[in-house]
Amino acid sequence: MADPKGFLTTPRETPRRRPVDIRLKDWREVYEEFSNQQLEQQAGRCMDCGIPFCHQGCPLGNLIPEWNDLVWREDWHGAIERLHATNNFPEFTGTLCPAPCEAACVLGINSDAVSIKQVEIEIIDRAWEEGWVRPEQPAAATGRTVAVVGSGPAGLAAAQQLTRAGHRVIVYERADRIGGLLRYGIPEFKMEKFRLDRRLDQMRQEGTEFRTGVDVGVDLTVEQLRSEHDAVVMAGGSTVSRDLPITGRELSGIHQAMEYLPPANRVQQGDLSQSSISAAGKNVVIIGGGDTGADCLGTAHRQGAASVTQLEIMPTPPNERPENQPWPTYPMLYRVSSAHEEGGQRLFSVNTQEFLGDEDGNLRALRLVEVRKEDGKFVPVEGTEQELPCELVLLAMGFVGPERAGMLDELGVELDARGNVARDRSFMTSVDGVFSAGDMGRGQSLIVWAISEGRSAAAGVDRYLMGRDALPAPIGPNDRPLT
């Protein structure tokens, strides 16, 4: 156990965010430095309780009390070894994970949870600084080849596990760069891309091959892919955005979030001098209150929007755990992300009725109405209609599933009732030797689940090819969060 009295004597601390007026002038991550000494004290708050529910809360089964103890004892090298034992990419989760482990922390029953996510990011940052993160070469080559389609966190985790198991792994990605949503969805201010690039360098040195600009099902047929590889892992994500087909949807100035965020990210990558869709000087409305909406919010502020309003159809969530979401579940609470802190207004319990345009077909406003829930449906509250002037609307209402045209149709894989790719216990689809991991099978989810699925699918592939149980499989395809 770490400090036996730590949880009694040390209050929870997390790093401060940089002042809003300063951070809005750049795209860098928003957090200030947190000293190693402060962090060791935070790790010392872990009680090493008999049944660590945080393990259950973390979809990777991260060995949290073990690395907390090692950090508290200043054995940072031991800590990264324990962390890497269950998580290929702690820098992705340490910056981006909503930390369901903290919602499940036993200390959180009557006090503030251990700052687990902060300990995680500091361990991996220290490991990179010290040069402890090195390529891990496989002990022996198996002579088998595996194609991984899609280079988001699921594809990358599967690829790294399979390369280290001795297979020749080729990752096919239709975009011009590797990374999936980590590259072109998530903005720099949430995770700077150097974190992704240095991890990709490690993977290349381990032997993983990357082929960009290859749309499987278009540039490369599924038959070719299958004939050239002994197994395939499809990790193409959940890429079909939910739309809002109401009056005025065709007006100029209404875009999906995933039309808006990639060019903004490309400006930061140096590909473009300015974004093709910019919020500069505009009144912006974001429809949808989740992660994607918050990323649009932070991006719009950095581009110099005149105003930003975020609309959410659900009621304002509570500040404290409601009775129907007890510990150790991950509760739906009113959360203020760094992007929310930077400005804009949030409207809850509202629905958009129509988009209004000018005579040139440009968006000039939207009409919204307050709603309440009746018999499970949202119904308008009479007399509450109002016009909200706006020149840019960003739709951030989630994703309905993977694209069928191309790879999935060609393969003829079975889909589940929600339209995602169906898998068996070992993550194999209805097509022999073809596996699927991440949002493509799970539906729109989180990075931590994508990594976990990538690891588990790799275990399934390795067993399929070699008949052995050599790789860890943290989850099954139907495992769900503690909700």
Ligand X SMILES: Cc1cc2nc3c(=O)[nH]c(=O)nc-3n(C[C@H](O)[C@H](O)[C@H](O)COP(=O)(O)OP(=O)(O)OC[C@H]3O[C@@H](n4cnc5c(N)ncnc54)[C@H](O)[C@@H]3O)c2cc1C
Residue ranges binding ligand SF4 (CB under 6 A) = 57-58, 60, 62, 64, 93, 97, 99-101, 116-117, 120, 448
Task: State yes or no: cis peptide before 481, omega within 30 of 0.
Answer: no
Per the listing, tokens 């193409």 go with 236
Residue of 66, 48, 58 lying closest to 101 (CA atoms): 58
Work out how close the CB of 263 gets to ligand SF4 at its nearest, in angstroms, rounded to a whole number. Answer: 29
> Which of 181, 203, 244, 350 forms a contact with ligand X (CB under 6 A)?
181
Work out how close the CB of 59 gets to ligand SF4 at its nearest, in angstroms, rounded to a whole number. Answer: 7
Under the binding rule (CB under 6 A), the answer on residue 446 touching ligand X is: yes
Q: Which is nearer to ligand SF4, 431 or 475 (CB)?
A: 475
Work out how close the CB of 69 gets to ligand SF4 at its nearest, in angstroms, rounded to a whole number. Answer: 15
Element (H, E) at 426: none
Buried b (16+ CB within 10 A) or exposed e, 431-460: beebbbbbbbbbbbbbbbbbbbbbbbbbbb
Under the binding rule (CB under 6 A), the answer on residue 151 touching ligand X is: yes
Cα(58)–Cα(91) distance, rounded to whole angstroms? 15
Under the binding rule (CB under 6 A), the answer on residue 100 touching ligand X is: no
Element (H, E) at 399: strand 399-401
Q: Which is nearer to ligand X, 174 or 282 (CB)?
A: 174
Pairing of strands 350-357, 363-374: antiparallel
* Encoded tokens for 444: 């729109």
Under the binding rule (CB under 6 A), the answer on residue 237 touching ligand X is: yes
> Which of 52, 150, 253, 357 forms a contact with ligand X (CB under 6 A)?
150
Beta bridge partners of 395: 256, 287
Binding part of the chain for ligand X, among 146-154, 354-362, 421-429, 463-471 by CB under 6 A, reads 146-154
* Encoded tokens for 327: 């510990």
> Which of 39, 64, 103, 235 forms a contact with ligand X (CB under 6 A)?
235
* DSSP symbol at 109: G
Cα distances from 439 to residues 52, 141, 182, 380, 442, in angstroms, run 27, 30, 13, 33, 5
45 contacts which partner out of ligand X, ligand SF4, none, CB within 5 to 8 A by kind? none
58 contacts which partner out of ligand X, ligand SF4, none, CB within 5 to 8 A by kind? ligand SF4
Residue of 446, 421, 449 lying closest to 435 (CA atoms): 421
Under the binding rule (CB under 6 A), the answer on residue 173 touching ligand X is: yes
Under the binding rule (CB under 6 A), the answer on residue 406 touching ligand X is: yes
407 contacts which partner out of ligand X, ligand SF4, none, CB within 5 to 8 A by kind? ligand X
352 contacts which partner out of ligand X, ligand SF4, none, CB within 5 to 8 A by kind? none
Q: Which is nearer to ligand SF4, 168 or 442 (CB)?
A: 442
What x-and-dash track marks residues 267-296 binding ligand X by CB under 6 A? ------------------------xx--x-
Under the binding rule (CB under 6 A), the answer on residue 200 touching ligand X is: no
237 contacts which partner out of ligand SF4, ligand X, none, CB within 5 to 8 A by kind? ligand X
Residue of 211, 180, 220 lying closest to 92 (CA atoms): 180
Binding part of the chain for ligand X, among 174-182, 199-207, 281-289, 410-418 by CB under 6 A, reads 174-182
Cα(404)–Cα(410) distance, rounded to whole angstroms? 9
Residue of 465, 407, 405 lying closest to 436 (CA atoms): 407
> Which of 100, 185, 248, 401 forms a contact with ligand X (CB under 6 A)?
185
99 contacts which partner out of ligand SF4, ligand X, none, CB within 5 to 8 A by kind? ligand SF4
Cα(152)–Cα(158) distance, rounded to whole angstroms? 10
Q: Which residues, other chains included, contact 332 with Cβ-Cβ below 8 Å and sequence gap of 6+?
A: 317, 325
Q: What letter represents residue 312's amino acid? A: E
Q: Which is nearer to ligand SF4, 29 or 120 (CB)?
A: 120
423 contacts which partner out of ligand SF4, ligand X, none, CB within 5 to 8 A by kind? none
- By the 8 A CB rule, do 184 and 263 touch? no
* Encoded tokens for 324: 């129907």
Q: Which is nearer to ligand SF4, 105 or 285 (CB)?
A: 105
Q: Which is nearer to ligand X, 174 or 195 (CB)?
A: 174
Buried b (16+ CB within 10 A) or exposed e, 281-320: ebbbbbbbbebbbbbbbbbbbbbebebbbbbbbeeeeeee
Cα(349)–Cα(121) distance, rounded to whole angstroms? 36
Q: What letter represents residue 283's amino acid? A: N
Under the binding rule (CB under 6 A), the answer on residue 421 touching ligand X is: no
Under the binding rule (CB under 6 A), the answer on residue 438 touching ligand X is: yes
N-term to C-term CA, the chain: 29
Q: Which is nearer to ligand X, 285 or 440 (CB)?
A: 440
* DSSP symbol at 415: B
Q: Which is nearer to ligand X, 61 or 217 (CB)?
A: 217
175 contacts which partner out of ligand SF4, ligand X, none, CB within 5 to 8 A by kind? ligand X
Work out how close the CB of 189 gets to ligand X at its nearest, in angstroms, rounded to a whole number. Answer: 11
Q: Which residues bind ligand X (CB under 6 A)?
A: 96-97, 149-155, 172-175, 180-181, 185-186, 190, 214-217, 235-237, 261, 291-292, 295, 406-407, 438-440, 445-448, 450
